[in-house]
Amino acid sequence: MSSTSQKHKDFVAEPMGEKAVMALAGIGEVLGKRLEEKGFDKAYVVLGQFLVLKKDEELFRDWLKDVCGANVKQQGDCYGCLKEWCDAFL
């Protein structure tokens, strides 16, 4: 697995609170706006979907691709970020 980004490290270092969806690793301005338009405006809303999908990597990646057009790297970065956050805080 590739090394994690600073954005990833910052995200998993503390409780999620009200962080914007763009705080998630792999989610930049373009994907963030697409997610916001679909109602996923906060990182915790995306976390909710992650949990509904039972933290399943394939299902989450497919969902992220379908909802905002995330590429394979973006899907993996976001999945890894949420998985590590859950491992630390849930």
Within-domain flag for 17: yes
Q: Which whole number is the average pLDDT over 66-80? A: 98
Within-domain flag for 28: yes
* Residues linked to residue 20 through DSSP beta bridges, in sequence order: 42
CA separation for the pair 62, 59 (Å, rounded): 5
Tokens in use for 9? 């490290």
Within-domain flag for 1: no
HSE at residue 63, side-chain half, CA atoms within 13 A, is: 20
CATH number, domain of 30, equals: 1.10.150.40
1-53 residue pLDDT tens: 457 899 999 999 999 999 999 999 999 999 999 999 999 999 999 999 999 99
CA separation for the pair 12, 76 (Å, rounded): 15
Residue 4, pLDDT score: 84
Four-residue CA torsion sign, 13, 17, 22, 24: positive
Domain containing 67 equals: 6-89
Q: Domain count of the chain?
A: 1
CA separation for the pair 85, 37 (Å, rounded): 24
